[in-house]
Every structure is written in structure tokens, then in C-alpha cells.
Amino acid sequence: MHRVTGLKVAIKVMQAEKAALSREENGISESSAMELCEKNSNVASLIESFSQDGHVYIVTKFYRTGDMLGYLETKKVNKLPEAETRDLVKQLASGVRDIHDQGVVHRDIKHLNILISLS
């Protein structure tokens, strides 16, 4: 629970050294890339990021449905109906397009990095 907003959040924790190496390798930090894309509803929403005790914390909106793999496991299927797949791919493409429009390339698109948010 985020202390200021009261919203349920997810927190990614990375060792500061690993985060710095990633930032150097990619030319931008993960949280900065997320900030650049904050206007796209198909990109995970960054709430805040901070460093403390040798770690970097990236606080994002909590997606209760989880990632693509968890979504498929919850539905007890290994593939989705064509219409649902089409909708998800459109949203994914919109997010990737917005990321690219900001001059950022997502180099790790995979089922664990695709978060599902259902109403």
C-alpha cells in the first residue's frame, strides 16, 4: 500500500549496481523510460522511484491480473481466442509504439513483462 496515495502498488527492487550498469548499457534508467511514456495507458504507470541502502526501488501501479503467463494460467488455457488476442496485441503494439516514439527501445518484451489490467 502506497503510504501517500493509499493505492495498492507493486515494487521492483534492484541492486543499485545492477541498475547503474543497466542505465549505462541502455543509456536511460528504467524509471526514466517509464516517465517518458506516462501518457500511454498501455505502458505501466510509474508512481515513484528511489534509492536506499544500495537498492533501487521502482514503484508502479499494481496490476491485479498480473502478467501474461499468470493470466493464461488463471484462465487454464495455453492460448486465447482470436478476438481477445487481437485486442491484447493492439494494446501491446500501442505501448511499444509510444515507447519508440520517445526514442526508447524495449529490449525485453516477453510474457512476464506484459501486465494485464482488466476492469
Q: Which of 67, 87, 98, 108 is catalytic?
A: 108
- The pLDDT-based confidence of 38 (bands split at 50, 70, 90) is confident
What average pLDDT does the structure give for the chain?
A: 90
Q: Is pLDDT of 98 > 70? A: yes
* Per-position b or e across 52-76, b if 16+ CB within 10 A of its CB: eeeebbbbbbbbeebbbeebeeeee
Dist CA 13 CA 91 (whole Å): 26
> Domain 9-113 is classified in which CATH homologous superfamily?
Transferase(Phosphotransferase) domain 1 (1.10.510.10)
pLDDT band at 37; cut points 50, 70, 90? confident
**Residue 108 is among the residues annotated as catalytic for this protein:** yes
Domain boundaries, the chain: 9-113
- pLDDT of 119 > 70? The answer is no
State the cell numbers at 92.
Answer: 501491446
Question: Is the full-model pTM beyond 0.85?
Answer: no
Integer angstrom CA distances of residue 46 from 50, 68, 73, 98: 12, 19, 26, 15
